[in-house]
């Protein structure tokens, strides 16, 4: 088993292996057995934030011609973008911090003529670049060049007419063609599907598409009321919040595909009381903004995740991200310690972390919060 | 005294291309704790067997 990279953490370290592609958290003794020297971090208590994010979402631009009605970055055809040099310098800094993966996105990253140069630079500094795209404009040549990426997911929020209904334009044929072109190049191709109130019932059709095209994953992303989505009434209903995890389970069994849910769905999963030990081992967690995850916005803001707007630093300034990391996201990280009811007494709080900060705290999509509110009025603390 | 062997504490598979972090891999969550502990032992053994870096 080949170890690609490793870095020390308070609890021991994080090790990246190639086959199977995985990030493993190991204890201090395992790090020693692997030949790593004792780290100064091992003098600290094992609990505490990571020394750096494991993955960073680099929002290369707010530039996209598609104009999706719920676009969370409010992308326009001439939106802001990081330059190639800025992106390279940011990747250099992230590599120095020990970041393992970056997710490149936008906007539509494929509209940037330097996207592949950014991805190649990430590889050169030891970071795995991954990509989310709408697939619009992807041709066979661009698909071949996409071999540089680790995982590529194409956004498909519905099949056929359901795509147009969800995104506001008819782009399904383009997305399906892009999936076929990419799948011919590499196996690590999947689908991102935003689950909203109106698209919920169409998710099984997307799962069938994933099966039919032999894609390696279906990732369900929760609709969040940010960007242009702020004006839409598309958050899941309480019944849908309860039905989400059982639906995902059915899709796994019925289609034998890998189904993943983004971190914002954690409260809707933990309400079904899965094994805490299994969840902890497989890294099932709620909001990991400013901990496992961080984001860089096109204007340079270094944020806890791409849905949060409070900047801890300007990522374009050399050293600023590393300097801000230890305490810059204390407010986001600290929610479990100051959580009100019903989070405070929830046995899953350490894993769930109170749900998605971009939606609200406590998370209004959590069935436990909904039940609590049904019994008594509960203030929502916006973040 | 015999030294305790090192352990794998957590495993996340694949890469995440998204704006939000991978929260739940439903496929793995369906398995029981026996599989998680077996996988921890197996990954640990494989890591020790060939600690290339």
What would the pLDDT profile of A39-61 be if each residue is shown by its tens digit? 999 999 999 999 999 999 999 99
Quick one: pLDDT at residue A231?
A: 86
* Average pLDDT, integer, range A189-208: 97
pLDDT band, residue A379 (cuts 50/70/90): low
The partner residue sitting opposite A25, judged by closest CB among B9, B33, B46, is: B9
What pLDDT is attached to residue A377?
66
Question: What confidence category does residue B51 fall into, taking pLDDT thresholds of 50, 70 and 90?
Answer: low
B4 contacts chain A (CB < 8 A)? yes
DSSP A315-383: TTSTTHHHHHHHHHTHHHHTHHHH--TTTTT-TTHHHHTTS-TTT-BS-TT-HHHHHHHHHS----B--
CB A132 within 8 A of CB A155: yes
* Among B1, B4, B26, the residue to mutate for chain A (most A Cβ within 10 A): B26
ipTM over 0.85: yes
pLDDT tens for each residue of A66-125: 888 889 989 999 999 999 999 999 999 999 999 999 999 989 999 999 999 999 999 999
Task: Collect all residues with Cβ–Cβ distance below 8 Å to A237 and sequence separation of at least 6.
Answer: A197
Does the pLDDT value for residue A210 go beyond 60? yes
The span from the CA of A303 to the CA of A312, in Å, is: 6
Instruction: Give the span between the Cα atoms of B10 and A367, in whole angstroms.
Output: 27
Counting runs of H as helices and runs of E as strands, what totals does chain B give? 2, 2
Per-residue confidence (pLDDT) for residue B52, from 0 to 100: 52
pLDDT of residue A381: 65
Are A269 and B50 a contacting pair at CB < 8 A?
Answer: no
Is A265's pLDDT higher than 60? Answer: yes
Instruction: Express as a percent the part of chain A with pLDDT over 70.
Output: 98
Task: Answer for the pair A60, A132: CB distance below 8 angstroms, yes or no.
Answer: no
Please give the average per-residue pLDDT across A168-190, as a whole number: 96
CB contact under 8 A, B23 and A25: no
As a whole number, mean pLDDT of residues B35-44 equals 92
Contact criterion met (CB below 8 Å) for A182 and A133: no
Q: H-type helices in A223-275, by residue range?
A: 238-255, 266-270
pLDDT of res. A380: 65
Give the domains, in start order, of chain A with CATH numbers.
Answer: 3-43 (no CATH), 55-333 (3.20.20.70), 335-375 (no CATH)
B2 to chain A nearest CA, in Å?
13
Please compute the mean of the pLDDT values over residues A342-358 and round it to a whole number. 95
pLDDT of the residue at A327:
94
Query: Is the model's pLDDT at B23 over the cut of 80?
Result: no
Which DSSP letter does residue A53 get?
-
- Report the pLDDT value the prediction gives residue B18, as an integer from 0 to 100: 83
Between B16 and A161, name the one with better pLDDT: A161
pLDDT, chain B, mean: 84
* A63 closest CA partner among A74, A51, A72, A52: A74
Residues in chain B within 8 Å Cβ distance of A223: none
What's the CA gap between A34 and A29, in Å, rounded?
9
Report pLDDT digits (tens) over A99-111. Answer: 999 999 989 999 9
**CB contacts < 8 A (A, B):** 223
Question: Nearest-CA distance from A131 to chain B in Å?
Answer: 5
Window from A191-200, A210-219, A304-313, A371-380 with minimum mean pLDDT? A371-380
Residue of A nearest to B47 (CA): A1
pLDDT of A278 reads: 93
Nearest-angstrom CA–CA distance, A130 and A189: 10
Which of B17, B19, B30 minimises the CB distance to A306? B19
Output the pTM of the full model: 0.94
- Residues A100, A55: contact at Cβ < 8 Å? yes
* Closest Cβ opposite residue A281 in set B10, B15, B53: B10
Confidence of residue A2 (pLDDT cuts 50, 70, 90): confident
How confident is the model at residue A1, as a pLDDT?
Answer: 80
pLDDT for the residue numbered A378? 60
Nearest CA in chain A to B40: A281
CA distance B46 to chain A (A): 6
- The DSSP letter of residue A139 is -
pLDDT at A375 over 90: no
Position B53 scores a pLDDT of 53
A159 touches chain B (CB under 8 A): no
**What local confidence, expressed as pLDDT, does residue A383 receive?**
56
Helix-helix angle A320-328:A84-97, to 10 degrees: 50
Query: What is the per-residue pLDDT for A198?
Result: 94
Q: Positive or negative CA dihedral for A81, A85, A87, A90?
A: negative
């Amino acid at each position: 088993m080949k170890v690609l990279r490793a870095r020390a953490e308070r609890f021991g370290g994080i090790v990246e292996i190639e086959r199977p592609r995985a990030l493993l958290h190991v204890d201090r003794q395992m790090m020693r057995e692997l030949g790593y020297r004792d780290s100064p971090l091992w003098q600290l208590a094992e609990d505490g934030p990571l020394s750096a994010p494991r993955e960073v979402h680099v929002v290369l631009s707010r530039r996209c011609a598609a104009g999706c009605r719920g676009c969370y970055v409010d992308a326009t055809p001439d939106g802001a973008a990081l330059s190639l040099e800025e992106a390279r310098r940011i990747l250099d800094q992230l590599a120095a911090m020990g970041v393992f993966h970056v997710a490149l996105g936008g906007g539509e990253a494929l509209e940037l003529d330097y996207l592949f140069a950014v991805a190649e630079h990430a590889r050169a500094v030891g970071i795995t670049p991954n990509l989310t795209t709408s697939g619009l404009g992807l041709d066979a040549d661009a698909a071949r060049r996409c071999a540089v990426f680790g995982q590529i997911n194409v956004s498909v929020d519905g099949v056929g007419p359901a795509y147009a209904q969800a995104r506001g334009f008819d782009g399904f044929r383009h997305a399906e063609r892009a999936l076929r072109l990419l799948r011919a190049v590499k196996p690590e191709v999947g689908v991102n599907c935003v689950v909203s109130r109106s698209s919920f019932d169409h998710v099984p059709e997307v799962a069938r598409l994933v099966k039919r095209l032999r894609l390696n994953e279906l990732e369900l992303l929760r609709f969040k009321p940010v960007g242009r989505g702020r004006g839409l009434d598309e958050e899941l209903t309480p019944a849908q919040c309860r039905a989400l995890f059982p639906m995902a389970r059915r899709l796994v069994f019925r289609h034998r595909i890998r189904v993943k849910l983004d971190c914002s769905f954690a409260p809707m999963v933990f309400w079904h009381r899965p094994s805490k030990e299994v969840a902890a081992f497989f890294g099932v967690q709620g909001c990991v903004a400013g901990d496992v995850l961080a984001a860089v916005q096109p204007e340079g803001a270094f944020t806890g995740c791409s849905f949060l707007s409070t900047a801890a630093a300007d990522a374009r300034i050399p050293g600023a991200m590393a300097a801000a990391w230890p305490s810059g996201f204390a407010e986001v990280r600290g929610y479990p310690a100051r959580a009100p009811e019903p989070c405070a007494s929830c046995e899953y709080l350490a894993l769930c972390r109170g749900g998605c900060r971009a939606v609200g705290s406590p998370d209004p999509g959590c069935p436990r919060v909904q039940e609590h509110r049904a019994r008594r009025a509960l203030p929502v603390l916006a973040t | 005294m015999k030294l305790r062997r090192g352990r794998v504490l957590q495993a996340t598979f694949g890469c995440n291309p998204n704006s939000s972090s991978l929260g739940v891999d439903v496929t793995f969550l369906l398995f029981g704790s026996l599989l998680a502990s077996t996988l921890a032992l197996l990954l640990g053994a494989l890591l020790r067997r060939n600690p290339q870096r």
